[in-house]
C-alpha cells in the first residue's frame, strides 16, 4: 500500500515540482484528541496523544500549494465488544501507531509578506498498526486543515494549524428513478474524526515570490 501511494503521489506532484520555483519543508509536532471508531460488533477507543510528522508544500501558484503530508501518532487503544449481556471492555491497552499519508491542496490568503492564513483539503491512506498480536488495517482517509503561516524571514517561518482526519470505513452508491427524473449519488462514512493541533518550522527553498 505504501509503495502504491508513493508512486501515485509522485505522479501527481512531479508536474508541479518541475514547474514550481518555491518549495516549503515543514517538520511539525502537536496533539491529537482521542476518539472512538464504531463497528458492527465492537468499538475501538483511541486515546489522545502527541502527533508528529512533516510536509512538503510545492507552490503551484502564488496562492495555491500542493502538499505531501505524513502524520503519525503513537498511542493506545481499547477494544470494546458488544454482547447479549452488555458491554465488555478488556482491561489491557493495545499500543497502536496511526499513520496518515496524504496529498492535497492549500489555499493561502496572503495578508502581507509576513502573514498568510490558509485552508487546506487532502486525501490519502491511513494505516492503523497495532504493535502486538493484531494485524494492521488500511483505510482511505480525508483531511482538512486551517491556520496561519508567519514568516520571520524569506527563508524561515512558523506554521500553526488545526486539523482533522477521517478514516473512511465504508462507501455506498445509490440510484433513484421517479416521475421527476433519475438521480445517482455516492456517499462515504466514518465514525472516527481525529482532531488536533500542530505547529512547525517552515524552511523555504528555491525562488521566493
Q: How confident is the model at residue 130 (pLDDT cuts 50, 70, 90)?
A: confident
Q: What is the spatial distance between Cα 150 and Cα 110, in angstroms, rounded to a whole number?
A: 10
Res 183 pLDDT > 50: no
Q: Where are the domains of the chain?
A: 2-206
Q: Which residues of 108-119 are buried (b: 16+ CB within 10 A; e: fewer)?
A: beeeeeeebebe
* Averaged confidence pLDDT in the chain: 80
CA nearest to 166, candidates 71, 80, 89: 71
Q: Which fold has domain 2-206?
A: Porin (2.40.160)
Q: What is the spatial distance between Cα 204 and Cα 22, in angstroms, rounded to a whole number?
A: 7
Res 33 pLDDT > 90: yes
Percent of the chain with pLDDT over 70: 71
pLDDT tens-digit series, residues 57-98:
988 888 899 999 999 999 998 877 766 665 565 557 889 999
User: Cβ-count burial of 90 within 10 angstroms (0-12 exposed, 13-18 middle, 19+ buried)?
Assistant: exposed
CB atoms within 10 A of CB 65: 23
Amino acid at each position: 500500500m505504501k509503495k502504491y501511494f508513493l508512486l501515485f503521489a509522485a505522479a501527481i506532484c512531479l508536474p508541479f515540482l518541475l514547474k514550481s520555483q518555491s518549495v516549503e519543508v515543514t517538520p511539525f509536532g502537536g496533539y491529537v484528541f482521542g476518539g472512538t471508531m464504531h463497528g458492527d460488533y465492537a468499538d475501538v477507543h483511541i486515546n489522545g496523544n502527541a502527533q508528529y510528522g512533516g510536509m512538503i508544500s510545492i507552490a503551484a501558484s502564488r496562492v495555491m500549494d500542493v502538499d505531501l503530508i505524513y502524520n503519525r501518532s503513537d498511542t493506545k487503544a481499547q477494544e470494546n465488544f458488544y454482547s447479549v449481556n452488555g458491554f465488555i471492555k478488556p482491561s489491557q491497552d493495545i499500543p497502536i501507531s496511526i499513520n496518515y499519508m496524504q496529498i492535497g491542496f492549500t489555499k493561502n490568503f496572503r495578508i502581507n509578506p509576513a502573514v498568510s492564513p490558509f485552508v487546506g483539503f487532502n486525501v490519502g491512506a491511513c494505516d492503523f498498526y497495532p504493535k502486538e498480536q493484531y494485524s494492521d488495517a488500511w483505510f482511505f482517509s480525508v483531511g482538512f486543515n486551517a491556520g496561519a503561516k508567519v514568516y520571520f524571514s524569506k527563508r524561515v517561518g512558523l506554521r500553526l494549524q488545526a486539523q482533522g482526519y477521517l478514516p473512511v470505513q465504508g462507501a455506498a452508491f445509490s440510484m433513484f428513478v421517479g416521475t421527476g427524473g433519475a438521480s445517482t449519488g455516492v456517499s462515504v462514512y466514518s465514525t472516527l474524526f481525529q482532531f488536533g493541533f500542530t505547529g512547525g518550522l517552515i524552511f523555504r527553498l528555491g525562488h521566493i515570490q
